[in-house]
A and B are shown apart, each in its own frame.
Chain A
């Protein structure tokens, strides 16, 4: 399994887009895997009381999917340095989220690249936007 070298990537390079079907399983299991037991992420009646149709994705799952999207591309020797995420419309079951990204900056001092990432769902639009900074060999 290869990892990109710092010298091999440049600002403007695009990452392969990733389509993620949003299901009740992904939402509730993602919440549990990140130890977020807030009922709105696993109990539909609580989410409906908040005005949504169903359980919605917790932040730590969105963040995890953003991280995965970047390291899927970079390869396993990349070292994650930072992750920033801004949340928009909720992800609820039945949607598809398309994650896309592009290299926005390179830092020679740290051998790191900053990838700007967005995740848009097909119903309400922007779910998350942010950036992941990784150091490459």
Chain B
């Protein structure tokens, strides 16, 4: 989109803000009923007697069964037509098609906020009134470029009493090309592993040794200075001649952080990443494991072991030396 095209698109897009999704309050096809409540409860594994046990409910504070409040939005849904013929036109469908025509065909529900004021019970009719409440400016996210829109719905019963409200946020975006051209196949879910170590000319030897269970420290052949991480030239004497020694992995915590957010798939939490002083005199960055996070402290004596942390990754993991934690 050129800036001019984008402006024309947005000028039309933002006219949808404030528009009603249905021309009149939409009445659920069925009144609140025990059959649909039972089916919902069975599938969700919800054994709450307030929903299905009329004997229990008669003696409860309420005196009768209720519909699960989380079913509020289910009562006014369109039904099987959505799969067999496509969703019938309404204000939201019209806006979604406008997005689709301009390439924003990806759709992702991101947030639902519901407030409940009155519990619905079998026999109640549910009416929904919805508007397109807001549309964001253009956003760039991990999914792609697009716009968030938010609908606002009010649910009332046959007496006009407001039983609840809902905000529903959707991201409409330009989907990545590969998703459209390469449909996924049947197969086992690939379990994510840790970020793969980048192996270049200068450090491949180090990772290859790690894969075999050894942590090496580079040593200048000219002046014997140790260095880590691996690099081609000695910082002391500028020699490019080097060999290596194997670390005993005796060390102590120089500094550490606990990674909380965002959580990356493939990593085990709690996740403590430490800068470690090795007995040989160099430092290494690695995980501290095998104790409570609260017991880790600067100066704590630790001992490393090279372990397989996931199906693809060998890494040194450092454990407290007996008596050094807490």
Which residues of A are at the interface with B, using a C-beta cutoff of 8 A? Answer: 1, 20, 26, 29-30, 32-39, 42-43, 47-54, 59-61, 63-68, 71-72, 76-77, 79-87, 89, 92, 94-95, 120, 123-126, 137
Whether B71 contacts A34 by the Cβ 8 Å rule is yes
The residue from A33, A37, A71, A81 contacting B48, defined by CB atoms under 8 A apart: A71
Whether B191 contacts A48 by the Cβ 8 Å rule is no
Whether A37 contacts B70 by the Cβ 8 Å rule is no
Whether A37 contacts B80 by the Cβ 8 Å rule is yes
Whether A63 contacts B184 by the Cβ 8 Å rule is no
For the complex, give the distance between the alpha carbons of A85 and B177 in Å: 29
Binds A, one of B15-23, B95-103, B112-120, B295-303: B112-120
20 A-B interface contacts by CB (under 8 A):
A32-B39, A36-B82, A38-B82, A47-B184, A50-B179, A52-B184, A65-B44, A67-B69, A71-B46, A76-B49, A77-B60, A77-B61, A82-B114, A84-B114, A87-B111, A94-B189, A95-B189, A123-B189, A123-B191, A123-B265
Interface centre among B48, B61, B70, B115 (most CB of A within 10 A): B70
* Nearest CB of A to B13, in Å: 23
Interface centre among A34, A42, A59, A89 (most CB of B within 10 A): A34
Whether B60 contacts A64 by the Cβ 8 Å rule is no
- Which residues of chain B are near A71, meaning CB under 8 Å? 46, 48
- Known contacts A1-B49, A37-B80, A71-B46; 5 additional CB pairs below 8 A are A51-B179, A60-B70, A63-B114, A64-B40, A87-B109
For the complex, give the distance between the alpha carbons of A81 and B71 in Å: 13
For the complex, give the distance between the alpha carbons of A72 and B70 in Å: 14
The residue from A59, A61, A82 contacting B115, defined by CB atoms under 8 A apart: A82
The 7 closest A-B pairs by CB, nearest first: A35-B77, A51-B179, A67-B70, A68-B46, A37-B82, A80-B69, A76-B50
B187 on the interface (CB 8 Å rule)? yes
For the complex, give the distance between the alpha carbons of A94 and B116 in Å: 33
- Which residues of chain A are near B108, meaning CB under 8 Å? 87
The residue from B36, B60, B82, B112 contacting A76, defined by CB atoms under 8 A apart: B60
Interface centre among B40, B82, B110 (most CB of A within 10 A): B40
Kindly identify, within residues 229 to 279 of chain B, every residue whose CB is under 8 Å from any CB belonging to chain A: 263-265
Closest to A58 in B: B109
- Which residues of chain B are near A50, meaning CB under 8 Å? 179
* Nearest CB of B to A7, in Å: 17
B196 on the interface (CB 8 Å rule)? no
For the complex, give the distance between the alpha carbons of A41 and B210 in Å: 44
Closest to A63 in B: B70
**Given that A76-B60, A124-B265 are known contacts, is A84 also in contact with B112, CB under 8 Å in the complex?**
yes
- Which residues of chain A are near B109, meaning CB under 8 Å? 59, 87
Whether A84 contacts B44 by the Cβ 8 Å rule is no
For the complex, give the distance between the alpha carbons of A35 and B263 in Å: 33
- Which residues of chain B are near A48, meaning CB under 8 Å? 183-185
Whether A82 contacts B116 by the Cβ 8 Å rule is yes
For the complex, give the distance between the alpha carbons of A83 and B69 in Å: 9
Whether B82 contacts A68 by the Cβ 8 Å rule is no
* Nearest CB of A to B149, in Å: 15
Interface centre among B44, B188, B192 (most CB of A within 10 A): B44
- Which residues of chain B are near A29, meaning CB under 8 Å? 43
Interface string of B103-145 (1 = CB under 8 A from A): 0000011111111100100000000000000000000000000
* Nearest CB of B to A83, in Å: 5
* Nearest CB of B to A128, in Å: 10
* Nearest CB of A to B187, in Å: 6
- Which residues of chain A are near B79, meaning CB under 8 Å? 35, 37
Whether B111 contacts A84 by the Cβ 8 Å rule is yes
Whether A125 contacts B70 by the Cβ 8 Å rule is no
For the complex, give the distance between the alpha carbons of A71 and B49 in Å: 11
Whether B191 contacts A84 by the Cβ 8 Å rule is no
Whether B44 contacts A61 by the Cβ 8 Å rule is yes
The residue from B43, B56, B83 contacting A33, defined by CB atoms under 8 A apart: B43
